[in-house]
Each structure stands twice: as structure tokens, then as C-alpha cells.
Structure 1
Amino acid sequence: MSTGGARSAPAPALAVVGATGAVGSVLLQMLSQRADVWGDVRLIASSRSAGRRLTVRGTEAEVLALTEDAFDGLGVGDIALFLTPAEVSARWAPVVTARGAVVVDQSSAFREDPDVPMVLPEVNGHAARLRPRGIVSGPDCVTAAMIAALGALHAEYALAELAVSTYQAASAAGRAGSEALRRQLSLVAGTSLGEHPGDVRRAVGEDTGPFAGPLALNVVPWSGELREDGWSSHELAVRAQVRRILDLAELPVSVTCVQVPVLTGHSLTVRARFEGAVEAVRAREILESAPGVVLVDDPAAGEFPTPSDAAGTDPAWVGRLRRSLDDPRSLEFFVCADNLRQGAALNATQTAELIAADFGSFTL
């Protein structure tokens, strides 16, 4: 997305809440790489991180403690990005909106609120303009990884049904997830662990971090909390988010969430069924021109997406695209995306830029 253009109003202030977290660190890098559309940028985090100095746009800035005083001076035309746990966003977002500023929240706090639009700019950026509560929500990083590709295909073929399996990176659980995987890998590196039942679990013991089981040399088919009929809360959340962003309230969606021993980069297998017959050649043309998507699809040459390729990049990488063998209305494909960028830092930044342009502070 281009963000250049002449300013027609004072540059808005930007508050980054959760600036010292894993996503916050990536977002600060982005602010230095993208067009500079912001005036004052203030960094806010928990009291544990207050006083730290971080570099933003080439200069050092002190991290403020998350208190009401940290938002002094914010008002109409300004924006606060919340890269925080849901309970933090729920507590502090109303403090910001009461001052007239807009909140862009990447947590789950407001994703089910009908008065809070859920936005992925490549698919439904227009939805950010209608925000009754002054809050715009972003999808989680799993949904964001596939929704740009799905949205482009839906616009052409009309999505009728969706089945997804996810392969989620440890860093989606924040620094605690990445650190847990590194600790576990250090325990099993150079050993024969993994060859016999239960030996990885015994080596790791209770130190599984934020995961339901040991992740090193393993996969864990669970993410979230238990819900009715054996579904996890995360699986149901992905289902709900796809329906909201594509405006398909009754879309049949089935999701299986799996944690894998990858530090950065979610992967998904997707089977999408449409209203009519599809052609893989035309689908490739659609995805090649879709914003936020890179098509990497030449299996004969060994070219297809992997999380290590997607790590550190902004787009969703799509490959292994083919029409289903048993259904001319279905496409199957594989997608990878950096979970700290696509659907987290990048989504928050792009959404904030859309809102700033709507205020007239610059033109897209």
C-alpha cells in the first residue's frame, strides 16, 4: 500500500501501546521503513518497561508507563495502536476514545462487538470508516495469513464453504512462546529424543510454556481453550473472523489449529469451495494481482511457500494451488505469512494509515 502524498491537515499523533512486546518491536521497525505520516509518536508499555529508550524513526524515545497521563494531549484526529492482551485493551481503549482519538486494537477484546468493525485493509479497508465506538479491531494472525487470498478469490467466484488446517508458529504466543520453544530445543538438541514414546515430554517436564504440550520435535493439535463439542476457542474465533471480514454470516467454516516447532511464520492448508466451477489458471491470475499476496507456485522447480521464506516479509505467500480432484468447485492451496507482521504489526499500521488519510492528514 502506498502511503505517500501531500498533507492537507496537521500530522496526527500516534500512540503505540505495547511498544516493548514482540509485535511492538516489529511495528517500530515498520514506522522507520514506511512513509512518515505521523507527528508525535509516543511509546507506552507496562510499568515494568517504563523508562526504557527505544529507537523510532531514527531517534530515541522514552517508554511511558500505561497510565491515564500517558494519553494526555491525544484527541480528535489522533490514533492509538493497542498491541496488548485483551484485558489490557478492554481496560484502556475506552480511556483513549473518551478523548476523541481512535483505537486500532489487535487483541480479541472487541472482535465480537458488532459496533467495532474488523478490518484487514487489503480486503475491507472501507469498513474502518464506520466506527461507532471509536475502535477498529484487527483479525488474529492466523486469519490474516489467508484472508487476503480468500478475499480476492471470493470477489471472483463467491466463497461457499471453507476448511482450514493451521500450522502455527511459537511466536504467536509472544516472547513467552518463542522462549519456551528455544528452551525445549536446547534440551533435545543432539539427543535421540523423539524416537520413543513420551521421551520428549519427559525431557521437557512441566516446562511447556504457553502450549498444551512440548513443542520441540513435536506438533500440538491445540490452540485456545476448550469449547462445546471438542472445538477450541481459537478454532471458533478464526471461523467467526472469516465470516465477519468477508461479510458471510452463514459461511460453513471448519478449522483445526495446530502448533508446530517454528519460531516465526504461520502456515495453513486451505480448501475453499465456491458457488460455481473454478479454474486453477484463472485463480493464479487473480492471486498474482491480489494486494498483500505473493504467488510462489512451481512445485516442479521446488518453489512453494515455507514459513522460513515468509519470515521477515509483509505479504502472504501462496502456493500449491490446484483444483480439487473430486470437486470442480473447490480450490486447495498452501499459505504462509510472518505472524508478527501480517495480521499484527502490518495490519495495525496499515489500518492506522487508512484512518489518518480519512482524517485528511495525508492522501494515500
Structure 2
Amino acid sequence: MNTKQGLNVAIVGATGAVGVQMLKMLEGSSLPISQLKLLASKRSAGKTQTFKDQSIIVEEAKPAAFEGVDIALFSAGGAVSKQLAPEAVKRGAVVIDNTSAFRMDPEVPLVVPEVNPEALREHKGIIANPNCSTIQMVVALEPLRRKHGLNRVIVSTYQAVSGAGHSAIEELKQQTEAVLNGQEPKTEKFPYPIAFNAIPQIDTFQDNRYTFEEMKMINETKKIMAFPELRVAATCVRLPVAVGHAESVYVELDQEVGVEDALALLADSPGVTVVDDPANLGYPMPMDAAGKKDVFVGRVRKDPDEKKGLHLWIVSDNLLKGAAWNSVQIAETLVQLKIITI
């Protein structure tokens, strides 16, 4: 593809919550990088960020900035992706997009490397990174699906405020302080105060009474697993947690499986860490998953009435496996599969 010793990589939205984590994930990545370009909005241009002890100046994200870029990681909002991703592709870059802009486009692969890496071979310049809550769920469910089949998924999520960006974390802090001081909390990012609360709405409501976030989980799960007839329902809830999404997931398999067999299968699966020791209060929590790349699974138990039913508790860092790390993993997999060559 080029004669350089490595790849030219760009991060679009480099100063945002996910962009900052992308930078950190690239530092520890196996991806051979010869040049890193940090791109953001005009107001963020001129700021500096550090990568492997080098100071890099943030540039404005515009079409000309993608000249010579091999891989562009996008996390700057759907409108920016729709505008600039095609421009990056025109200039020879492969785009890995972290927004919902292209996820359901039939021409765009929607990829979780532990689940459907071969879909990367079908890319036409743009690859979509799934929704954070979808990613952690399918990583945990795919080993069960492969061995025992899958026909139904019912998920309730308990999602961290960082899914709504840096400003949402600040709002949680400010609201918490206000409530503790007997003051009225100011609300901007969410429809109601999030401090000391649980809001059963993430994104806008659709005509079918599900939210856009819930429909993302439903539709993306079917696409990633190439399983359009899979029965999926979701309820997505925002909690006053800074980092780390949690999910209560009920699955019905095609075959009955014992808890110990399910745990062994999960423990042997890439990207999964099992924390399941009820006798000693062993189960995963958002505070344990924060800053870690894996998907954590616990509270695995049989349904009391449906012999093919299992309940699982799934936790992951929404900014890492749910966004930045999955994007970088996609880039690494493109190189490992020789879809991109140096």
C-alpha cells in the first residue's frame, strides 16, 4: 500500500472523550504507526496532545487533512462523519467510524473483532464501530451462540454518563455537589437530573415507543451476528455512574447448557473475563471494569422456568471496549488479516 515503515493514522475528534482514549489505546497497540495526525473542530485546533512522549499539535478536521492517511479513526459525531468520512475515503484512507452514521448501511461492515472479523473483507472504505452497549453484549453472547445456538435476547442496560461525553461527567459531578448542598441541580445533557437518579431514556423515542439507543442494540446485534431473525428487545437506562456500562441479559439458546459449562466457555473466549463467585460476593461492577479492555461477565444462572434460558450480568468500560479499543482492534485486525498492508 505504501513504502513507509508504518501506517499514517488519523484520529478525528481527538480532543473528545473517546478520542482521548483512542490516543491511549494506540500507544499500547501493535499497529505499526509511522505518523499520527490529530484532528478536531476549528476551536480545538492548536491544542497539543502527547503520544509516546511526543507532543502533537491538533489540526482542524477538513478534507485536505486526510491526504496521505491510511487509517482514520472517527469519533466526532455523526454529522462530522457523514461530511468527512467520504472525503477521507476519496483520499485513500480506510475509515473506522465510531458514530451511528453508517452502522445500518448495508454497504458498510459493522464489526466486533471477537465476533465477525471476516466482515472486514467486505469494506468499501468505511467500517462502522457498533454502539458501546451492543459491543459488550455480543462479545459475551457470541461464544454461547456458536456452540449452543441463540434465538432470543432480552437486555436491560445500566449505562454510564460518559456515553454522552465529557460534559455529561461534569454535569453529574456538579449535580451531585448541588444536591448534597441542598441546591437545585442544573440540567443540560439529560432530560432530568441524573445525580441520585435513574433515567429510563437514552436518545430520542421512536414511533414504536423504544428509544433510538434501544433500537440500535436490537438492529446492530442482528447485523453483527448476521442473524436477522434473532429476537431481541432492549430497555436502556442511564445511571449516575461516570464510566462503565452494565447489562442484565436474558438469553434463550437452542440447546440447554449448564452454568459451569457456560462459565468455562466464556472464560475461554477472547476479550472476556469471568467474575462469578456468588459465595464470596464475586461479580463484575463498573468500577472494576473502568480502564480495562475486556468484557466482564458474572451472575450467570439458569432461568427457573425455561430450561434453555440463561441470565448474565455483563460489564465493560464504554469508552474502551465500547468505543476506542474496539476501533483500534478493528485497525489491528485489518493489518493482521492483510486487508491493509504496509
Shorter-chain TM-score range: over 0.9
Partner of 1:136: 127
TM-score with structure 2 setting the length: 0.96
1:1-364 alignment to 2 at 5 Å?
10-74=5-69, 78-132=70-124, 134-189=125-180, 191=182, 203-204=184-185, 207-357=186-336, 358-359=338-339, 361=341
1:214 is paired with a residue of what secondary structure? coil
Instruction: Using the TM superposition, give the Cα deviation of residue 360 of structure 1 relative to its aligned residue in structure 2, in angstroms.
Output: 5.5
Instruction: Provide Cα deviations, 1:158-194, integer angstroms capped at 9, x if missing partner.
Output: 1100000000000000112111111111101255xxx
Q: Which amino acid aligns with 1:160?
A: N
TM-score with structure 1 setting the length: 0.90
Instruction: Provide Cα deviations, 1:134-171, integer angstroms capped at 9, x if missing partner.
Output: 10001111111211111111101111000000000000
Q: Which amino acid aligns with 1:80?
A: A
Instruction: Provide Cα deviations, 1:193-232, integer angstroms capped at 9, x if missing partner.
Output: xxxxxxxxx822xx32221211111100111111123111
Partner of 1:3: none
Looking at structure 1, the residues matched to 92 and 86 of structure 2 have their Cα atoms a distance apart, in angstroms, of 10
Contact 1:212 1:223 (8 Å CA) reproduced: no
Q: Which amino acid aligns with 1:173?
A: A
**What stretches of structure 2 of length at least 5 have no aligned partner?**
none
1:332 is paired with a residue of what secondary structure? strand
Q: Which amino acid aligns with 2:165?
A: G
Looking at structure 2, the residues matched to 225 and 360 of structure 1 have their Cα atoms a distance apart, in angstroms, of 37
1:115 is paired with a residue of what secondary structure? coil
Number of residue pairs matched by the alignment: 340
Decide which moves more: 105-114 or 181-190. Answer: 181-190
Contact 1:219 1:260 (8 Å CA) reproduced: yes
Instruction: Using the TM superposition, give the Cα deviation of residue 50 of structure 1 relative to its aligned residue in structure 2, in angstroms.
Output: 0.4
Q: Which amino acid aligns with 2:297?
A: V
Instruction: Provide Cα deviations, 1:247-295, integer angstroms capped at 9, x if missing partner.
Output: 1101111100000000000000000101121211110111001111100
**What stretches of structure 1 of length at least 5 have no aligned partner?**
1-6, 192-201
Looking at structure 1, the residues matched to 322 and 243 of structure 2 have their Cα atoms a distance apart, in angstroms, of 13
Looking at structure 1, the residues matched to 340 and 208 of structure 2 have their Cα atoms a distance apart, in angstroms, of 49
- Aligned CA distance change for structure 1 residues 38 and 142 (closer, same or farther; 3 Å): same
Q: Which amino acid aligns with 1:310?
A: A
Identity %: 38
Instruction: Using the TM superposition, give the Cα deviation of residue 359 of structure 1 relative to its aligned residue in structure 2, in angstroms.
Output: 4.1
Contact 2:31 2:332 (8 Å CA) reproduced: no
CA RMSD of superposed structures (Å)? 1.6
Instruction: Using the TM superposition, give the Cα deviation of residue 8 of structure 1 relative to its aligned residue in structure 2, in angstroms.
Output: 10
Contact 1:32 1:58 (8 Å CA) reproduced: no
Instruction: Provide Cα deviations, 1:79-113, integer angstroms capped at 9, x if missing partner.
Output: 10101111110100000111121100010000110
Instruction: Using the TM superposition, give the Cα deviation of residue 58 of structure 1 relative to its aligned residue in structure 2, in angstroms.
Output: 2.1
Looking at structure 2, the residues matched to 95 and 106 of structure 1 have their Cα atoms a distance apart, in angstroms, of 16
1:88 is paired with a residue of what secondary structure? helix
Contact 1:8 1:360 (8 Å CA) reproduced: no
Looking at structure 2, the residues matched to 86 and 360 of structure 1 have their Cα atoms a distance apart, in angstroms, of 25
Contact 1:152 1:286 (8 Å CA) reproduced: yes
Q: Which amino acid aligns with 1:288?
A: A
Looking at structure 2, the residues matched to 8 and 308 of structure 1 have their Cα atoms a distance apart, in angstroms, of 44
Looking at structure 2, the residues matched to 359 and 8 of structure 1 have their Cα atoms a distance apart, in angstroms, of 16
Partner of 1:194: none
Looking at structure 1, the residues matched to 232 and 141 of structure 2 have their Cα atoms a distance apart, in angstroms, of 13
Instruction: Provide Cα deviations, 1:61-84, integer angstroms capped at 9, x if missing partner.
Output: 11010122211223xxx1101011
Instruction: Using the TM superposition, give the Cα deviation of residue 341 of structure 1 relative to its aligned residue in structure 2, in angstroms.
Output: 0.2
Q: Which amino acid aligns with 2:206?
A: R
Q: Which amino acid aligns with 2:89?
A: T
